Structure 1
Amino acid sequence: MRDHEPAPSLHGDRRLSTKEAAELLGVKPETVYAYVSRGQLSSRRVPGGRGSTFDAKEVETLARRNKRESGGSSGSGGELSVRTRITLIDADRYYFRGVDATELAARHSYEEIAEWLWTGRMRPGTTFSAPDTSVAAARRAVDALPEHASPTDRLRVAAIAAAAADPLRFDLSEDAVLGTARILIPTLVAALPPVRIGYRDEGSLAERLWARLSPRAADEASLRVLDTALGLLVDHDLAASTLAVRVAASARAHAYAAVSAGLGVLEGPLHGAASGLAHRLLNDVLEQGDAGPVIADELRAGRRIPGLGHRLYRGEDPRARALFALLEEIPRAEPALLAARDVVATTARHTPLHANVDLALAVLTASSGMPATAGETIFAVARTAGWIAHALEEYDERPLRMRPSGLYVGAKPPQPLPE
């Protein structure tokens, strides 16, 4: 019997040939056998033949599940979709578990928003603290890095060291992962070296982070901006780093490893490092007193103007709008705010791009005496909570579902052995 012919069943259950199964699933015949090797389908050899047959009900169930998990896309070049209850971005606004994220950040601390994202419950007054053993392990590892190591390097090493100090890290139950999250985030902050002399490690997470970013004492208004920035940046749907976290969680990597995967992707210049580019741009504008020549130099060099535009928002990034409103209440931020507005107005003559959160972060960091890398640090610490939320969600899904099939476009086999 040839493989494309349907096989009869001795038990009355309809069987499909490989070709029929592939057509129903919308994949190549080779992918059908990949499903078999991953335990997602069972096959039966055709008696006396070379082909296999598949239970029609199994194939139909898998096809429906694939369609659900791909958001109904055909898989023919459409973007990957993943079901999530965490963040919705819609009509220039975004929501955490259905609640407007900017309103949450205006009324609740970063830690409270993290708990909301993880559990769907608000815990007013919640704070995160880490045991001495976790902090000590992370600090030893970070202190061994070269002086020029980036903040993301330090955070990634701190996460790995904290994992090594936690013998229960492989427990993926919800309670265990939540316990890890509440310890890991303050451990990451504590592992970063303070830049203020004589600073004592106490206060809110925003206070502890501020002391690692700025040599200046933090006033209440500045801490409010930083804490709000952390809350606004907790999550933003399936950004590249978040997708990496879900892939790791799909393979049942523990929470520390999943966060490490996110930190690895975050370091790319098109993701977490974007605020640093905006910070340097603002400093150039402040030095020259005019955005015109600075923008001209950027365009002449063929570079995209950082801090402007976002593929998910037609208008102004709601995160930027919320931060700009708070920064307007801080007198020392006025020069950087005016420089940011000059950048937006100058580029608007040719391209109507709105400010995004990277430009707002740059105003915060540039006006607070922070280094250009500070925005990346804020982003990474904030997003760790979102990554944990996505890891928790992924742990409840079928293992290894984040496994797309490659579309081979190389030389057609069989090729001769290389000499």
Structure 2
Amino acid sequence: MTPMHDQHPAPGSPARRLSTRETAELLGVKPETVYAYVSRGQLSSRREPGGRASTFDAGEVDALARRNRREAAGTPGSGGDLSVRTRITLIDKDRYFFRGVDATELSTHHSYEEVAEWLWTGRMTRGVTFTAPETTAAVARRTADALPEHTSPTDRLRVATIAAATEDPLRFDLSEESVLGSARVLIPTLVAALPVRRRRGHDDGPLAHRLWRRLTGTDPSDAALRVLDTALALLVDHDLAASTLAVRVAASARAHAYAAVSAGLGVLEGPLHGASSGLAHRMLLDVLDQGTAVTVIADELRAGRRIPGLGHRLYEGEDPRARVLFTLLEQVPRAEPALLAARDIVATTARHAPLHANVDLALAVFTASCGMPATAGETIFAVARTAGWIAHALEEYGERPLRMRPSGHYVGPKPPQPLPE
């Protein structure tokens, strides 16, 4: 292959233009990935007069190819140091931003679906709602309903994701248009696959309204529905959390969007990630039952467990997501006892460790107040984060394939060893 620097035009000659095929070959990617680079502003294209095909500036392609080679050599952005360039979320000084916009402001002024669309496209689509074809929802429901009765909601969501994939003949099309079309169907399908707890109501309108029926049998107030919708929006993404990293690894191998989401759901079940809100929920119920946080926290520490719902490695102060939800929960009258219990937990632990409340404790206040099971927080987290996983998968599809491949550091017995007997 001719080196890129040999393709630069001589001074005064017309700028060298490359075809899509040439550009793809020089970058070592598929033609559709070239257009993903264009959609993300990493390459510019134009059509020549009288032509129908796009052409690309050789200098821009050269620069992008050199940047990709630097990443492959282990500079920031490679899998070796787990540093990944992203345009999605920034966490900085106890604040976080979606595409440069304060995420807490977005989440309190826009619905979950609107925030998801912003994360995916950088455009605000007012009034958007996600709906799934009844055929897809029915397949996901039947598949999930075949699981044992004790199955966790996250297990149901994983199975529903696989079922939805089988109904999508375009799942292997990794273009942005196709992936987003799948995402807009997958998310409401996940909600539809959960068992209904409240028979009144319809499966239309905002996603938060449909999800409420599957989290509790109690009637919702406008204030409580607002808390749920805002929680979904706040939890859409949070940089490279463990589940999001798993999604990007899958997408780097060019797994389709459903498979990438399945990878995220698998990681989410860990007690240090999505399940944390359930632990906080149970602790909060114990505090409400005993009337004080002192004995409950003492029992947790005596058992060698960390106090759930407190502290976050990315924030020195209070988790901004928790701050927003606590403010909204003050407008929900039935949440007052749980709010007081949460404050008691924070105040009791503050005597020895200055830990602030995180979003898991705020979710626990919400779920405990509204008659939801301990697993409800994890369900909310999983449904919400699916949109963020899609955003990261899309971003990874535009990068060099299989770049998320760190090298192993072997520390076993020095070879060659004799054959085992």
Q: Quote how far apart the aligned CAs of 1:168 are.
A: 1.3
Residue identity matched to 1:398? R
Partner deviation per Cα, 1:70-90 (whole Å, 9 max, x = no partner): 2599x5xxx511000000000
Q: Quote how far apart the aligned CAs of 1:203 are.
A: 2.3
- Aligned equivalent of 1:115: 117
Residue identity matched to 2:389? W
Contact 1:69–1:82 (Cα < 8 Å) also in 2: no
The alignment partner of 1:88 has SS state of: strand
Matches of 2:141 and 2:72, distance apart in 1: 44
- Aligned equivalent of 2:133: 131
- Aligned equivalent of 1:48: none
Higher relative contact order (CA 8 A, sep 6+): 2
Aligned residues between the structures: 362
Contact 1:69–1:83 (Cα < 8 Å) also in 2: no
Give the TM-score normalised by structure 2.
Answer: 0.83
- Aligned equivalent of 1:19: none
Contact 2:199–2:213 (Cα < 8 Å) also in 1: no
Q: Quote how far apart the aligned CAs of 1:204 are.
A: 1.2
Q: Quote how far apart the aligned CAs of 1:61 are.
A: 6.8
Partner deviation per Cα, 1:322-373 (whole Å, 9 max, x = no partner): 0000000111100000000000000000000000000000000000000000
Q: Quote how far apart the aligned CAs of 1:60 are.
A: 8.3
- Aligned equivalent of 1:258: 260
Q: Quote how far apart the aligned CAs of 1:69 are.
A: 5.3
Which of the numbers 70, 81, 88 marks the counterpart of 1:64? 70
- Aligned equivalent of 1:25: none
- Aligned equivalent of 2:352: 350
Matches of 2:350 and 2:301, distance apart in 1: 14
Alignment of 1:135-214 (within 5 A): 135-214=137-216
Alpha-carbon distance change, 61 to 349 in structure 1, aligned in 2, over 3 angstroms: closer
- Aligned equivalent of 1:91: 93
The alignment partner of 2:311 has SS state of: coil
Please, which runs of 5 or more residues in structure 2 have no aligned partner? 6-27, 30-64
Alpha-carbon distance change, 69 to 259 in structure 1, aligned in 2, over 3 angstroms: farther
Alpha-carbon distance change, 60 to 399 in structure 1, aligned in 2, over 3 angstroms: closer
Matches of 2:74 and 2:173, distance apart in 1: 29
Matches of 2:291 and 2:152, distance apart in 1: 30
Matches of 2:358 and 2:261, distance apart in 1: 25
Alpha-carbon distance change, 178 to 69 in structure 1, aligned in 2, over 3 angstroms: farther
- Aligned equivalent of 1:281: 283
The alignment partner of 2:108 has SS state of: helix
Identity of aligned residues (%): 78
CA RMSD of aligned residues (A): 2.1
Matches of 1:61 and 1:228, distance apart in 2: 38
Q: Quote how far apart the aligned CAs of 1:165 are.
A: 1.3
Please, which runs of 5 or more residues in structure 1 have no aligned partner? 1-12, 14-38, 41-58
The alignment partner of 2:97 has SS state of: strand
Residue identity matched to 2:337? P
Q: Quote how far apart the aligned CAs of 1:164 are.
A: 0.9
- Aligned equivalent of 1:215: 217
Residue identity matched to 1:290? T
Larger Rg, first or second structure (1 or 2)? 1
Matches of 1:169 and 1:209, distance apart in 2: 25
Give the TM-score normalised by structure 1.
Answer: 0.83
- Aligned equivalent of 1:3: none
Residue identity matched to 1:134? T
